[in-house]
């Protein structure tokens, strides 16, 4: 065959082989389906039999074997040969056999395919090869298009599969309907040799089965049963320990569920469910212990700024209270399983981890606010502690500080030294960090007040002290830079911050207080009110004393009339005593009021030291009004009434009448002295107020000059406009009727130079002319007038004060008319000049000029009024000094005359006593000397009247002077009565007593005369006001230096000194040396070192120490402390200086209060005075007549020598 023909044949053979594999595969599928169907049918039957009959082991084995054999047999018949052929284990049909099958399947092929194979295989005729090739090709072409591969269409296989599906569906249906039955039967059939129990009629489902519990938890077991459920089930419990097992009967609830709960399971346990022969397997409940807090210890560390130590809270107490920012340190002992972690959990779910170590946990957490917390423990298996205790966190807030003023008052006066002593009470929980003084000039006489507060920091001496009183001397001028004038008001408050370092410092402040720098007018107005009250009190005392006198006279007359004292008389005497006690109490109150008034004058510098000294003497005079002798006489009257002793009663009445008369004289003297001192003080007041008014005009002049300069600056900014405005106004000004009138007035004024009133009118006309010429346009004038309104208002106030001054001067002039020493003529002349000058009218015109912006004329008038006011102030001061000097001379002369008269009376009394002593006891001649004694009494009455009159002029005169004169007069009365009765012994005794009182009176008058002469010769030295100003300046400089030292220490902070810092130290040392130099100079003035500045040596020593430390660079905190002490001492000295010699006041003390000191050497004058005293006392001692004459003669020689 040709190669082509061979290829065709091979291709056909390949197709036949594919057809063979397809046929074989169809046979395998058909066999498998048959085997599967038969196996399913047999298994369905077998399981049904097993399920239905629950065969024993033998029948079940037979059934299983038969089933297996049947399945194997069917497999061998239908499946084994095709599979073996497919895998090559069994021979396959030949190609001719396959060709025949194809021919049978396809009639058109018939036997062609077989013939082709036979021809190709050599089974052919003896025809030539070409014919054979042609035959083969033709046959190939015939069968080429036939799809004989589809000879096998799997129809038989599909049929077998459909048949097999029926038993398979049956098996699946059995499985789905009764899965446990099917599976159970299958299981038993597959294990024919195993014995199986027949299943119960019901099933149970046990929950939770195997479980892990926490010790103490409950185990809840629930059983769900299905099927023929019995009424009861048994729960078997088997502990893992050697403890015996137990059984519990369970009954179903309404839901058909069997339940049981084992409470608080503490150990592992096994359990199962049984019912007859039905029982479950054993389930296991493993019990694990929870971690547990056994002990708790907390410690609270307060914030550092509090300075408080750490404190421990009681053991096992978890509630904690502390300040925000405190740290709580926690330590807890734990029990139970090993811990994996621990934490503090707060109520906002935030956590803080704790450190786990062995059997304890430690950690810390901050206190930020109120809340709760609890401790959570986790074991290695994740088991947490059950129901941890919730503890409270309570915060004790750091309260705001509190601060309040203790001094000064909310609305206080500011003295001229511009020092306000602040005294503050501060409280806080833990201390303070800052203290600031806020201030502003709220009301200003010359300008608008400040709206915003400024502040300065005040020193905190002890920031840690939680309750403290701090003081600060606020130097308004030096510290705050306030240039105050009388009438200005400063508002201020103090703010303090606590030291809260956690939430931030909190502040509190005082209320706003006011300091007013009162003018002299206001101060004197308050003083006048106090003096008016004092004068009224004295008048009331006089009336009350007169009422006591009236009641006594009524009681005396009643007793004398009845010669007996009834119960009503004793009651009246008791009322009289109470009324007198009330009067004496009022006198004590009056003395206290005068003392306060004197202190007010001294502290506010309202009077001269001399006048203040006289007011202090007045206070002593008031204190001497009360008489113990008067109260003793009342007591004697009471005792005599009780004892019905008429003679003693009569004597007591005489004593009371005598003392009561002196009592009223002392009241009259007090009133007269007070009036005189008021007049003297009023002259000082008018002088000072005139000077203050002059200073106001000077200040107004300065402010007016500033306004003029400001206007000039504004005009310079636009000179072209000014020039144009001047050109436009020039013609009008030249031809204006005002200018013409001013010119005519000027000519008239030149013709009347001699008349002051005409000159004043002339000057006013000139001013009016200048004002009219300088009058600006309406619009600009209104604007400038508004700018000068404050000055105009101040000038209006000055006019009101001037009118008030003139009125008071008129009243003072009227009061001084009754005083011969008063400068009445000078006062009259001053009042005439005031009327001529008409100062209030000048001030009114000046105010109008300010409002019209006529500043140049206004300033000129202000300067003129300033000069006039200063001249009047000086004149008033000169008048006061002249009046005081004249009065002093007259008083000295009066005392000298009284002293001479007293000595003469003493001499005459001594002579008469000598004559009487030479007479016999009952000599008729005694009566002849009674007129002589009466003459001495009349002379003493004249001296007593003079002394009484002088006492109303001299406050230095003590009460004992009047007492001695009164006692001498009383003894003379008794001597006259004794002489009349011819009682020589009594007459001599009373004459001696009278002489003794006269001699003591002479001594007292001599002392008073010497005191007044010394006072007259005193004076000189630096003025109190100048010394006060120097002290104020030094205090301000010292305070500034203290601040520099404090700032230097803060800047240094332990570092080495640089060159600049060393230079600063030397500069501060020089400043301290300069202050010390001024202090030394001031200490040499008028003996001030011992009078008012106190221990200047100690201040100087401290300053010297500071200078040395600053020069050597050894400054430290002690330097700052010493500097503060220096400032405090300076301020104290300043206050002492303002008291103007108050330490020199005379205060009564008991004899035991005096310190015994060795006497200093006596001057010649003092020796003479001492000798005179000794001679007088010698005369009183009763020497022999010869010695007495010698003593008397020596005394006269001393008097002559002194003259």
Model pLDDT, residue 138: 62
- Rounded Cα distance, 755 and 749, in Å: 10
- The end-to-end CA distance of the chain, in Å, is 202
Model pLDDT, residue 608: 81
Neighbours of 56 (CB within 10 A): 10
List, for residues 291-332, the tens digit of each pLDDT value: 999 999 999 999 999 889 999 999 999 999 999 999 999 999
Neighbours of 706 (CB within 10 A): 12
pTM for the structure as a whole: 0.53
> What mean pLDDT is predicted for residues 422-437?
94
302, 431 contact by CB (below 8 A): no
- Rounded Cα distance, 1135 and 599, in Å: 12
For residue 384, what are the β-bridge partners? Answer: 378
Give the percent of the chain with pLDDT over 90. 16
966, 935 contact by CB (below 8 A): no
Model pLDDT, residue 948: 85
According to CATH, the topology of domain 202-288 is: Immunoglobulin-like (2.60.40)
The CA dihedral of 980, 985, 991, 993, to the nearest 10 degrees, is -130
> What mean pLDDT is predicted for residues 77-87?
78
Q: Reply yes or no on whether the pLDDT at 1093 is more than 50.
A: no
> What mean pLDDT is predicted for residues 879-907?
87
More confident residue, 751 or 1124: 1124
* Average pLDDT over all residues of the chain: 79
Q: Reply yes or no on whether the pLDDT at 553 is more than 80.
A: yes
Domain 292-395 shares a fold with domain 422-518: yes
The architecture (CATH level 2) of 886-1016 comes to Up-down Bundle (1.20)
Q: Reply yes or no on whether the pLDDT at 749 is more than 70.
A: no
Reported as a pLDDT band with limits 50, 70 and 90, residue 1088 is: very low
Q: Reply yes or no on whether the pLDDT at 147 is more than 80.
A: no
- Rounded Cα distance, 80 and 71, in Å: 12
117, 96 contact by CB (below 8 A): yes
Reported as a pLDDT band with limits 50, 70 and 90, residue 957 is: confident
Model pLDDT, residue 1140: 47
| Helices and strands, counts by H and E, the chain | 32, 28
- In terms of Cβ atoms closer than 10 Å to its own Cβ (0-12, 13-18, 19+), residue 570 is middle
- Rounded Cα distance, 116 and 114, in Å: 5
Domain boundaries 422-518, CATH class:
mainly beta
Q: Reply yes or no on whether the pLDDT at 1171 is more than 90.
A: no
255, 186 contact by CB (below 8 A): no
Q: Reply yes or no on whether the pLDDT at 400 is more than 70.
A: yes
Least confident of 44-48, 95-99, 189-193, 1007-1011: 95-99
Which tokens is 740 given?
């013409």
Helix, strand or coil for residue 418? coil
- In terms of Cβ atoms closer than 10 Å to its own Cβ (0-12, 13-18, 19+), residue 153 is exposed
- Rounded Cα distance, 218 and 953, in Å: 114
Q: Reply yes or no on whether the pLDDT at 976 is more than 50.
A: yes
More confident residue, 196 or 960: 960
Q: How far is CA 240 from CA 221, 237, 266, 270, 1090, in A?
A: 18, 10, 12, 7, 106
> What mean pLDDT is predicted for residues 697-721?
77
Residue indicated by tokens 């809340």? 371
CA nearest to 951, candidates 762, 676, 638, 653? 676
Model pLDDT, residue 214: 84
How far does Cα 388 stand from its chain's mean position?
43
- Rounded Cα distance, 818 and 1093, in Å: 42
- Rounded Cα distance, 1079 and 1087, in Å: 13
Q: What is the CATH number of domain 292-395?
A: 2.60.40.10
Reported as a pLDDT band with limits 50, 70 and 90, residue 879 is: confident
Reported as a pLDDT band with limits 50, 70 and 90, residue 468 is: very high
Which tokens is 803 given?
């009118």
Q: Reply yes or no on whether the pLDDT at 107 is more than 80.
A: no
Expressed in percent and rounded to 5, the helix, strand and coil fractions of the chain are 65, 15, 25
Domain ranges of the chain: 3-190, 202-288, 292-395, 422-518, 886-1016, 1024-1142, 1164-1202
Q: Reply yes or no on whether the pLDDT at 1082 is more than 50.
A: yes
At 452, give phi and psi (nearest 5°). -100, 150
């Amino acid at each position: 065959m040709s190669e082509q023909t061979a290829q065709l044949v091979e291709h056909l053979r390949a197709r036949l082989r594919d057809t063979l594999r397809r046929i074989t595969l169809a046979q395998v599928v058909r066999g498998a389906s048959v085997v599967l169907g038969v196996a399913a049918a047999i298994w369905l039957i077998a399981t049904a039999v097993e399920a239905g009959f629950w065969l024993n082991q033998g029948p079940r084995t037979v059934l299983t074997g038969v089933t297996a054999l049947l399945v194997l047999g069917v497999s061998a018949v239908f499946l084994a040969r095709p599979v073996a052929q497919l895998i090559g284990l069994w021979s396959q049909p030949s190609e001719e056999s396959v060709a025949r099958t194809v021919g049978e399947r396809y009639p058109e092929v018939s036997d062609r395919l077989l013939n082709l194979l036979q021809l190709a295989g050599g089974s052919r005729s003896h025809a030539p090869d070409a014919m054979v090739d042609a035959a083969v090709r033709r046959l190939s072409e015939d069968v080429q298009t036939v799809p004989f591969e589809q000879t096998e269409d799997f129809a038989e296989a599909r049929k077998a599969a459909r048949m097999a599906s029926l038993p398979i569906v049956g098996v699946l249906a059995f499985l789905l309907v009764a899965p446990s039955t099917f599976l159970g039967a299958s299981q038993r059939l597959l294990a024919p040799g195993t014995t199986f129990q027949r299943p119960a009629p019901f099933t149970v489902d046990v929950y939770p089965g195997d479980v892990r519990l926490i010790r103490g938890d409950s185990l809840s077991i629930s059983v769900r049963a299905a099927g023929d459920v019995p009424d009861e089930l048994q729960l078997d419990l088997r502990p893992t320990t050697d403890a015996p097992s137990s059984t519990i009967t369970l009954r179903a609830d309404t839901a058909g569920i069997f339940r049981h709960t084992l409470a608080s399971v503490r150990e592992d346990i096994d359990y199962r469910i049984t019912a007859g022969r039905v029982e479950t397997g054993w389930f296991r409940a493993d019990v694990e212990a929870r971690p547990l807090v056994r002990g708790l210890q907390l410690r609270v560390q307060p914030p550092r700024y509090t300075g408080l130590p750490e404190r421990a809270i009681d053991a096992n107490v978890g509630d904690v209270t502390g300040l925000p920012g405190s740290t709580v340190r926690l330590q807890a002992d734990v029990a139970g399983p090993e811990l994996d972690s621990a934490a503090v959990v707060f109520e906002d779910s935030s956590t803080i981890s704790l450190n786990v170590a062995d059997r304890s946990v430690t950690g810390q957490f901050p206190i930020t606010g109120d809340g709760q917390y609890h401790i959570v423990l986790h074991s290695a298996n994740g088991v947490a502690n059950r129901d941890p205790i919730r503890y409270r966190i309570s915060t004790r807030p750091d309260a705001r500080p509190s601060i309040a003023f203790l001094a000064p008052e909310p609305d206080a006066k500011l003295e001229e030294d511009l020092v306000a002593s602040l005294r503050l009470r501060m409280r806080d929980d833990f201390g303070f960090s800052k203290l600031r003084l806020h201030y502003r000039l709220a009301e200003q006489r010359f300008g608008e007040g400040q709206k915003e507060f400024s502040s300065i920091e005040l020193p905190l001496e002890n920031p840690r002290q939680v309750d403290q009183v701090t003081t600060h001397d606020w130097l308004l001028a030096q510290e705050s830079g306030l240039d105050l004038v009388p009438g200005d008001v400063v508002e201020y408050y103090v703010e303090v911050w606590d030291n809260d370092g956690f939430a931030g410092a909190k502040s509190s402040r005082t209320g706003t207080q006011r300091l007013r720098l009162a003018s002299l007018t206001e101060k004197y107005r308050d003083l006048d009110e106090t003096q008016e009250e004092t004068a009224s009190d004295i008048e009331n005392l006089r009336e009350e004393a007169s009422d006591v006198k009236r009641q006594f006279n009524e009681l005396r007359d009643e007793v004398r009339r009845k010669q007996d004292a009834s119960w009503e008389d004793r009651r009246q005497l008791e009322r009289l005593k109470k009324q007198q006690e009330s009067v004496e109490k009022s006198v004590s109150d009056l003395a206290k009021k005068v003392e306060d008034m004197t202190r007010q004058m001294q502290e506010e510098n309202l009077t001269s030291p001399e006048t203040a000294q006289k007011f202090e003497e007045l206070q002593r005079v008031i204190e001497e009004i009360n008489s113990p002798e008067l109260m003793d006489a009342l007591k004697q009257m009471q005792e005599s009434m009780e004892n019905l002793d008429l003679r003693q009663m009569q004597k007591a009445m005489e004593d009371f009448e005598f003392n009561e008369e002196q009592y009223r004289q002392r009241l009259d003297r007090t009133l007269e002295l007070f009036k005189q001192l008021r007049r003297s003080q009023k002259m000082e007041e008018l002088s000072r107020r005139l000077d203050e008014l002059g200073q106001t005009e000077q200040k107004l002049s300065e402010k007016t000059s500033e306004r003029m300069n400001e206007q000039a600056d504004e005009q310079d900014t636009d000179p072209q406009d000014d020039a144009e405005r001047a050109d436009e106004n020039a013609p009008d000004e030249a031809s204006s009727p005002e200018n013409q009138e001013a010119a005519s007035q000027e000519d008239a004024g030149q013709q009347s130079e001699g008349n002051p009133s005409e000159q004043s009118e002339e000057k006013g006309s000139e001013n009016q002319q200048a004002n009219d010429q300088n009058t600006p346009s309406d619009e600009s004038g209104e604007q400038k007038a508004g700018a000068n309104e404050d000055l105009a208002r101040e000038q209006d106030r000055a006019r009101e004060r001037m009118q008030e001054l003139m009125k008071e001067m008129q009243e003072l002039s009227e009061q001084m008319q009754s005083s011969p020493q008063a400068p009445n003529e000078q006062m009259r002349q001053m009042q005439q000049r005031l009327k001529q000058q008409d100062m209030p009218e000048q001030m009114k015109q000046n105010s109008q000029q300010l409002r019209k912006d006529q500043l140049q004329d206004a300033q000129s008038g202000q300067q003129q009024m300033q000069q006039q006011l200063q001249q009047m102030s000086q004149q008033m001061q000169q008048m006061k000094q002249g009046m005081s000097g004249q009065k002093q001379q007259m008083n000295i002369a009066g005392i000298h005359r009284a002293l001479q008269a007293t000595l003469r009376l003493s001499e005459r009394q001594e002579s008469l006593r000598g004559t009487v002593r030479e007479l016999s006891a009952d000599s008729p001649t005694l009566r002849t000397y009674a007129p002589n004694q009466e003459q001495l009494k009349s002379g003493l009455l004249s001296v007593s009247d003079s002394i009484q009159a002088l006492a109303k002029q001299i406050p230095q005169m003590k009460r004992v002077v009047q007492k001695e004169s009164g006692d001498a007069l009383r003894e003379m009365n008794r001597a006259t009565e004794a002489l009349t009765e011819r009682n020589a012994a009594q007459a001599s005794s009373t004459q001696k007593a009278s002489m003794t009182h006269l001699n003591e009176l002479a001594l007292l008058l001599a002392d008073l005369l010497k005191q007044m002469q010394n006072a007259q010769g005193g004076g000189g030295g630096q003025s109190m006001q100048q010394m006060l100003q120097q002290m104020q300046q030094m205090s301000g400089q010292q305070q500034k230096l203290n601040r520099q030292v404090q700032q230097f220490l803060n800047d240094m902070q332990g570092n080495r000194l640089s060159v600049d810092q060393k230079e600063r130290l030397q500069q501060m040392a020089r400043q301290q040396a300069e202050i010390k130099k001024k202090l030394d100079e001031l200490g040499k003035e008028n003996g001030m070192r011992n009078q008012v500045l106190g221990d200047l040596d100690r201040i100087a020593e401290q300053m010297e120490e500071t200078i040395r430390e600053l020069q050597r660079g050894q400054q430290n905190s002690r330097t700052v402390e010493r500097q503060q002490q220096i400032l405090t001492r300076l301020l104290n000295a300043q206050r002492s200086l303002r008291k103007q010699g108050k330490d020199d006041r005379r205060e009564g003390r008991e004899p035991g209060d005096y310190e015994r000191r060795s006497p200093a050497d006596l001057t010649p004058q003092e020796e003479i005075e001492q000798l005179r005293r000794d001679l007088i006392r010698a005369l009183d001692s009763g020497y022999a007549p010869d010695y007495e004459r010698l003593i008397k003669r020596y005394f006269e020689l001393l008097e002559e020598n002194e003259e």
